[in-house]
Structure 1
Amino acid sequence: MAGTTVSDGGLVERAFDTAARELGVEPGTEDHAEKLDHVRTTMGESKITVFRHLFGDEDRAQHANDTFEKAYGDLVDDGLVSPVPGARETIEQLTADGRTVVLTTGFARVTQDAVLDALGWRELVPVTLCPADVGGRGRPCPDMVLEAFLRTGSADSMHQVAVVGDTSYDVLSGIRAGAGLVAGVRTGAHGDNALREAGALHILDSVVDLPALLRVEN
């Protein structure tokens, strides 16, 4: 979602600052800079997995994650998220073309729902998934992609599934799931090199280019 269909203007970093302060990591310190760099590098990964790496101890990781999710949710409630230009229309076009769209995220369910509510997207797609829906294994594991395939029942094989995202973790999850088309977009966290190194065969300026690509691929 964030970076692919949703623009949040850097709210992840702002929410991380809140979580870091809560655990005694002050902005301007070397420790903060190193941890923020890891957050940027791992955009798209399950957030609790990121905090486990950063803080080690499970209790501290859970505390950081809870603080992060609350801070991000508060920023969402303040109206600081918006659709990537043309994203809603693209989803509607894909649906009109007979395709089933599933939105996935590395955030917790409560945060994902807050974003969907803020955008008025609750009824836009039939399925939305977060790591908790697949036993906690977020990207780059393939679980959410495979769960989307199983829940929708709209494809006969994984070769009919397309995965699109703005991070290398999105791409890796699609590759590991065996999706027939895996593409990166330039509207989010990672650049062309990172997306291609992860296995993306297509790099799109935006998700709005996806319907045309799928028609060509068909």
Structure 2
Amino acid sequence: MIRLAALDIAGTTVDEGGAVYRVLAEVVREAGHAGDDAAIRRWMGADKREALAALTGCGDPAHVEELHDAFVAALADAYAAAPPRPLPGVTRACAALRAAGTAVVLTTGFDRQVTDPLLAALPAAFTDALDAVVCAEEVGAGRPDPAMVHRAMALTGVEDPGAVLTAGDTVLDVQAGRNAAAGRVVAVLSGAQTRAELLAAGPTDVVDGVADLPGL
């Protein structure tokens, strides 16, 4: 039995219009680097500080923090202009999972500066269907490291990774689930990466979106 569903946020449970990767590319370009689509796609789902450091080749933690501050500010403006919302059927699916005895935890490469305002803007029916939220900065590692999944397990008292389902819309999401030895590693097609890209990472399942998870 699946006792924990660890779900990504942007592109998986929440529709934020692709703002995060658009803003990430803008910050990288403003820092004097290419920020091309191929480079950005390789860092989808990653901790945003790690992504900014890699995409700009910056080894100075203080400068990376400045880049991250610029990213957070620009993303806040983007979300104010076009507020994020739960993807279709996600709220109902999360409630159904919890009713069946499966804890629901969100995991994200965002830090709390981004995550908390984003969640506060979403309907209470969605946030009330969550057991916890885990950010990469809180566990010291972003995807594909399985640390966020392990933290979600600890928060919900789930010891057997075989009782865990992970779901995300990026290759790094799939790799993190596999690295955690999760029983079900689900790729969803509601985000930025294609079926072919996701299949190459080796998920156990590919579905249109989180709304399909109760059916699994």
**8 Å contact 1:18–1:71 — kept in the other structure?**
no
Q: Which residue of 2 aligns with 1:177?
A: 180
**8 Å contact 1:165–1:171 — kept in the other structure?**
yes
- What is the total number of aligned residue pairs between the two structures? 204
- Structure 2: segments with no counterpart, 5+ residues: 1-8
Deviation for aligned residue 1:79: 3.9
Letter in 2 for 1:57: G
RMSD between aligned alpha carbons? 1.7
Q: Which residue of 2 aligns with 1:125?
A: 130
Q: Which residue of 1 aligns with 2:144?
A: 140
Which structure is higher in strand share? Answer: 2
Q: Which residue of 2 aligns with 1:43?
A: 44
Deviation for aligned residue 1:18: 4.3
Per-residue CA deviation, residues 165-208 of structure 1 (Å, 9 max, x unaligned), is 10010111010011111010000021122212212021001111
Deviation for aligned residue 1:40: 2.3
Out of 14, 24, 42, the residue aligned to residue 6 of structure 1 is: 14
2: distance between equivalents of 1:42 and 1:57? 17
Query: Percentage identity across aligned positions?
Result: 36
2: distance between equivalents of 1:165 and 1:14? 19
Deviation for aligned residue 1:71: 1.2
- Structure 1: segments with no counterpart, 5+ residues: 26-30, 214-218
Per-residue CA deviation, residues 95-144 of structure 1 (Å, 9 max, x unaligned), is 11111000011111110111101113443312101111102x01110000
Q: Which residue of 2 aligns with 1:216?
A: none
2: distance between equivalents of 1:188 and 1:17? 17
2: distance between equivalents of 1:89 and 1:142? 27
> Secondary structure in 2 aligned to 1:75?
helix
Out of 104, 108, 113, the residue aligned to residue 111 of structure 2 is: 108
Q: RCO greater where, 1 or 2, for CA within 8 Å and sep 6 or more?
A: 2
**8 Å contact 1:165–1:184 — kept in the other structure?**
yes
TM-score (norm 1): 0.87
Which structure is higher in helix share? Answer: 1
Letter in 1 for 2:79: V
